[in-house]
Amino acid sequence: MTSSTPHIPQFRIGQGYDVHALVEGRKLILGGVHVPNEKGLLGHSDADALLHALTDALLGAAGLNDIGQLFPDTDPQFKDMDSRILLRAALQKIQAAGFHVGNVDATIICQKPKLATFLPEMVRNIAADLLVTPSHVNLKAKTNESLGHLGRGEGIAVHAVALLYKA
């Protein structure tokens, strides 16, 4: 590279998706926030579908497989695990591969409860875990307009995207 060659950062995008069933007797944890609700998400870990989708988007962007490969749901060490720990562990692998987090964005598909008032705390948690400012994290909540299993409140699904870069 000569001194006149422009330096172009390497950008990589990733996409993630997760869904967990809503059941009685479980806490509803999204983005590391306990959302008061009569039902919570069922899973091997704390079943934080938002953090799982984000983790998969980040791993996908880095070409590092997916959350289930890194943290198998057959491994007792991840039973009831705080998914923020998994997100931070994934970030370490992403950083070790030479990537920085650009921004992340996610849509939570949740018929109820309303999540809008909880989103800022989720943003702060995710930003802290990803070592970025909250302006690099965007979250949205949508109902499923009462359609299908999500619309009947049988579960919560999340779609996420992430941008990584190498300087």
Ligand X SMILES: C[C@@]1(CO)OP(=O)(O)OP(=O)(O)OC[C@H]1O
Ligand Y SMILES: Nc1ccn([C@@H]2O[C@H](COP(=O)(O)O)[C@@H](O)[C@H]2O)c(=O)n1
Name the site residues for ligand X (rule: CB under 6 A): 18, 43-45, 47, 52, 67-68, 71-73, 78, 81, 86
13 binds ligand Y, rule: CB under 6 A: no
Smallest distance from the beta carbon of 121 to ligand Y, in angstroms?
Answer: 13
142 binds, among ligand X, ligand Y, none (CB under 5 to 8 A by kind): ligand Y
Alpha-carbon distances, residue 96 vs 85, 92, 166 (angstroms): 17, 6, 11
CB burial string 94-111: b at 16+ within 10 A, e below: beeeebebbebbbbbbbb
Beta-sheet pairing, 10-24 with 155-166: antiparallel
Q: Does 116 bind ligand Y (CB under 6 A)?
A: yes
In the 8-state DSSP scheme, what is residue 6? P
Binding residues are 18-20, 44-45, 52, 66-68, 71-75, 152
Return residues touching ligand Y (CB under 6 A): 110, 114-116, 141-143
